[in-house]
Structure 1
Amino acid sequence: MADTFIEKATAEHIDADERASEDVNLNSNVEAKIKNPLAGLSKSLLLAQVEDFAKEKNMVDKVDLLKKGALVAQNPSEFETIEGLSDDERSALLREVTHKWHQPTTLYFTVILCSIGAAVQGWDQTGSNGANLSFPVAFGIPDSKYLDDAKTIPNPDYEKNLWLVGVINAAPYIASAFLGCWLSDPLNNWFGRRGTIFFSAIFCLLPVIGSAVAQTWQELFVTRLLLGIGMGSKASTIPIYAAENVPALIRGGLVMSWQMWTAFGIFLGFCANLAVYNTGDIAWRLQLGSAFIPAVPLVVGIYFCPESPRWLMKKGRYSEAFKSLCRLRNTPLQAARDLYYVHAQLLVEADIIGKSNYVTRFIELFTIPRVRRATLASFVVMLAQQMCGINIMAFYSSTIFSLAGGTNLTSLLASFGFGLVNFVFAFPAIWTIDTFGRRNLLLFTFPQMAWTLLAGGFCFYIPESSRAHLGMIAFFIFLFAAFYSPGEGPVPFTYSAEVFPLTHREVGMAWAVATCLGWAAVLSITFPRMLAVMTPTGAFGFYAALNVTALVMIFLWVPETKQRTLEELDYVFAVPTRKHMHYQVTKALPYFVKRWVLRQKNATLEPLYHFDEHVAGATVAPAVTLRGNSKVSEDEK
């Protein structure tokens, strides 16, 4: 299906004098300006453009509403001075700021449905955690050094079995990284966001049932590969779907529900592992198969959700996009405002990106400067989620607690505690992700994860005969999860879903999720062997060092995105990477040392980004930090 919007948008040319007084180069925004594309247009010209838009998109019956919406979008902070707005419309626009969580039921239903999809993801991850204690023996691949309880008969296949268990656990992530994620681009193109989620849900429903009845490890491996197709396409689509439907002021808080409910799914998986602990030889089958439960409401519920307005606009279906926005916003005026504002920004995107197919879109992730910066930032936050070590707990916590001297039951109970902490401490991010911001949450939590992992590793030196041995190990693992959940937990999927332009959103998210799940596969494969060779203390120390490395990468390469519309982020990611790095090293870091180390309360930080007064939300949220010198060397451009 041709991208109707892209074909028409690239054919349209708006004269430079008819745009704002000063254009911003969206491939090299060296002045770091965040600009409203409607700012600077005269009222008569703007209304004339809206009339042409209404005729072109067959929305003439909505032209008066679209005109009012365009005037509000042009100068959102001055809506009270706009003529023609009713008292109810003014009240709704004010309430949007003062009561930002007051949103339509349909919007919350959509977010809840996306949350169920996330719970499926988490439950799928932890089914194998408890099953690791019994399925290897059931298939004749014990991963202990001895074949008897007396530890007198060596296991000749010990090394091979360690790798085999890791590969079986990693199967969904291998399939996700190499197939499932990349299917999301064509699936979204053909079937839309809702259709892709339905496709993914089917692959998260049937394969888990198949894994429960597998008779050989090869059959188990294949069913888990099929599960990965659903996991990859779902994880690449649901955060995008949520991000495109949610208003900018609360986008982080609602889109981060992906991770919060993934954590809830992990917790439910641990609950299921514990619930079927005493079912004998079929315990591991029930632990793997129980993940079908949340997939059922996902298959059914997606039918009742509206399609993404931005996807409909991409396809040139503006009337349908308006109807969808009317279901997702409190008033038709707000729907009309968002429709026209997004349209204006998409025209700007089309000017710099144009039309492309699947292959060229992937190549352009690394060749178009604005897109390349988003690619780098999403790569960093997704890679950091694996570098921090959270999934060595999600995949192997039962094994770790068993190595710490716990019985099977004790290990499952401790894993249950880990899952509970991981879920409960995800809640603060609902409020902090749009106030403190994505970047600040990461910069605060990564040092905490590093020292808690290191402390947990050293606790293995406590004599195993001491009651403190297992208790202290569990304590620091729980503390590690408490720091992870409001920081690196919710940020990667929220961040990656919002940083790419609409033209590259599907393939960009596929890249990000493939990065995350691909490295999750590497972690799953290598960790059993790492435990055997490096001991738990060495493995924990290794991941503590990776936390520090990830902190440096985030500091240098990850810009802030809070409270900006998806289209305004084009300007954020137009700032050259070297300019962003130079600012962090020469401005932000010295400020941090002066203010928080030397306690100099008069220390000030120059902002990097200049917010145009007409940008949506500019007067609502504090101008997010960061501005550097206006002079930039040629190599920075």
Structure 2
Amino acid sequence: MNAIDSALNADREHGTFVYVVAFIAALNGLLFGFDIGVISGALLYINETFTLTPFLEGVVTSSMLIGAMIGAAIGGRLSDRYGRRRVTLGGAVVFFVGSFGMALAPTLEWLIAWRVIEGVAVGVASMVGPLLIAEMAPPDIRGALGFLQQLMITLGILLAYITNYLFAPEFLGIIGWRWMLLFGAAPAAVLAAGTYFLPETPRWLIEKGRTEEARNVLSRIRAKADVNDELDEIREISEIESEGGLSELLEPWVRPALIVGVGLAIIQQFAGINTILYYAPTILTNVGFGDIASLVGTVGIGIVNVLLTLVALLLVDRVGRRPLLLVGTGGMAVMLGILGLGFFLPGLSGIVGYVTLGSMFLYVGFFAISLGPVFWLMISEIYPLHIRGTAEGTASVVNWGANFTVALTFLPLVDRIGEGYSFWILGGFCVLSFVFIYTRVPETMDRSLEEIEDDLRSSTVVGADTDPSD
């Protein structure tokens, strides 16, 4: 059954409440995306309040990522101990407070400090949202529901780009970066209110011995005939495991999944996406666009990101995870090659500017159908139950660490060797990523989380040629 058929038959196969739960959990991605997108436009005007060198621009951008690494590191362990719902609620509160702190920052040092604090919430949101959705979703639509997180990330980025445009000083006559950053409190409040009504995941409840509560939750998100079978399956896996920690990730049977998760975490960032998302206005001004035109172009990038994520949502449970990853990384490599070439052509204006913008559109589109959503989906699928939060948190920490490295070094790298060579380096990494995905990343489509764990224990899920129909 393909993704569209699944959606049409969803009310008959699954309780409608599962879609409500997935939507609310996916709002974590809205926070994540908004914070990524809002700084790109704000940087154009923060420099008018606090004089910034290219290095300090990188520090302002990447300071959030330090907090995100902390949030991802503690969020996984906390979600295993206290539950997915409580950790989500706590992250939303921190993000809400952080938005006010950044907007009111009197000095550059305070702005950076508050970006670190808000980053903690972003790091928590980045790993607990996909985890909550994966543990609630039925196997046949887990991919589509999991992609809701990435869809919300793209909507958050688009919302941030629109916010940047609306609060540009050219329209309001004020330095509007503070209003840009303050607006992030709105999605945080929505997430906190929605999370209040969420149940805890049945898998976590069973792990804590609260079987009847788990049964009640399953009865709200599954067809009645499926509840007992799934309950028994989860309990069987839970009974043969004890609570694990970081050392468990190095067990021989878990190590292949660790390699896949960490590998995809690094690939997603070193493929260069955040050089576009963070610095799109800066790149566009460098090829001849004005400030407002650059912000309009950035809104276009956000729209492409949303639309192609919707396409991926329809494809993920039909064609699988691996094909999307392979097509996406291949296309990204080509677009980065063209984007880099544009900077070697004579004259940084006119047709070169539009070729640059078009390459950025297509690059973001390829990312949106592949590495963007599939990474977060797969790290919520491939790890065993008793360390799932910790393992996903580990992959998230690596992801944010790679993000930090790229954000901090990209502008100085451009300053040293130029935009063209910088984008070609990222394109070369996309080629290496294609090889890694082809040789190491498994297919998880149409398998329950417990089946994936069984396969992992027998070492079949780690092979690139695993057939989901087996």
Q: So what's the TM-score if we normalise by structure 1?
A: 0.70
Taking the aligned partners of 1:303 and 1:530, their CA distance within structure 2 comes to 45
2:410 maps to 1:518: no
SS in 2 for 1:306: coil
Taking the aligned partners of 1:316 and 1:420, their CA distance within structure 2 comes to 45
- Listed one character per residue, the Cα deviations across residues 153-184 of structure 1 (whole Å, up to 9, x for unaligned) are xxxxxxxx22222111111111221x211211
Q: 500-509 or 426-435: which moved more?
A: 426-435
Indicate the residue corresponding to 1:395 in structure 2. 278
2:63 maps to 1:171: yes
Could you tell me which amino acid in structure 2 is paired with residue 117 of structure 1?
A: N
Indicate the residue corresponding to 2:125 in structure 1. 234
> Match for 2:247 among 349, 363, 384?
363
Q: 428-437 or 219-228: which moved more?
A: 428-437
8 Å CA contact retained: 1:462, 1:468: no
Taking the aligned partners of 1:123 and 1:580, their CA distance within structure 2 comes to 34
2:469 maps to 1:623: yes
Quote how far apart the aligned CAs of 1:101 are.
Answer: 6.2
Indicate the residue corresponding to 2:22 in structure 1. 111
Taking the aligned partners of 1:431 and 1:417, their CA distance within structure 2 comes to 22
8 Å CA contact retained: 2:131, 2:380: yes
2:391 maps to 1:545: no
Alignment of 1:176-575 (within 5 A): 176-177=68-69, 179-277=70-168, 278-331=171-224, 333-348=225-240, 350=241, 354-356=242-244, 361-366=245-250, 368-464=251-347, 466-574=349-457
Quote how far apart the aligned CAs of 1:543 are.
Answer: 0.7
Distance 1:608 1:253, change over 3 A: closer
SS in 2 for 1:239: helix
8 Å CA contact retained: 1:390, 1:484: yes
Taking the aligned partners of 2:275 and 2:166, their CA distance within structure 1 comes to 22
Taking the aligned partners of 1:275 and 1:580, their CA distance within structure 2 comes to 47
Higher-Rg member (1/2): 1
Could you tell me which amino acid in structure 2 is paired with residue 228 of structure 1?
A: G
8 Å CA contact retained: 1:500, 1:508: yes
SS in 2 for 1:623: coil
Distance 1:448 1:304, change over 3 A: same
Could you tell me which amino acid in structure 2 is paired with residue 329 of structure 1?
A: R
Aligned residue pairs, count: 463
Could you tell me which amino acid in structure 2 is paired with residue 496 of structure 1?
A: I
Distance 1:98 1:466, change over 3 A: closer
Indicate the residue corresponding to 1:149 in structure 2. none
Taking the aligned partners of 2:457 and 2:469, their CA distance within structure 1 comes to 17
Taking the aligned partners of 1:314 and 1:322, their CA distance within structure 2 comes to 13
Could you tell me which amino acid in structure 2 is paired with residue 409 of structure 1?
A: I
Taking the aligned partners of 2:77 and 2:266, their CA distance within structure 1 comes to 24
Taking the aligned partners of 2:64 and 2:8, their CA distance within structure 1 comes to 44
SS in 2 for 1:339: helix
Unaligned segments of structure 2, at least 5 residues: none
8 Å CA contact retained: 1:185, 1:506: yes
Taking the aligned partners of 1:497 and 1:285, their CA distance within structure 2 comes to 35
Distance 1:466 1:222, change over 3 A: closer
8 Å CA contact retained: 1:127, 1:290: no
Could you tell me which amino acid in structure 1 is paired with residue 25 of structure 2?
A: C
Distance 1:341 1:475, change over 3 A: same
SS in 2 for 1:230: helix
Quote how far apart the aligned CAs of 1:608 are.
Answer: 4.8
Distance 1:345 1:417, change over 3 A: same
- Listed one character per residue, the Cα deviations across residues 285-329 of structure 1 (whole Å, up to 9, x for unaligned) are 112221111111101111111110000000000000000111111
Identity across aligned pairs (percent)? Answer: 28
Unaligned segments of structure 1, at least 5 residues: 1-94, 142-160, 585-606, 610-621, 625-637
Could you tell me which amino acid in structure 1 is paired with residue 287 of structure 2?
A: A
8 Å CA contact retained: 2:80, 2:390: no
Taking the aligned partners of 1:98 and 1:469, their CA distance within structure 2 comes to 45
SS in 2 for 1:464: coil
Distance 1:128 1:337, change over 3 A: same
Quote how far apart the aligned CAs of 1:419 are.
Answer: 0.8
2:32 maps to 1:121: yes
> Match for 1:135 among 46, 61, 66?
46
CA-based RMSD of the aligned residues comes to 2.0
Q: 460-469 or 413-422: which moved more?
A: 460-469
Taking the aligned partners of 1:317 and 1:512, their CA distance within structure 2 comes to 28
Taking the aligned partners of 2:246 and 2:137, their CA distance within structure 1 comes to 26
Q: 404-413 or 186-195: which moved more?
A: 186-195
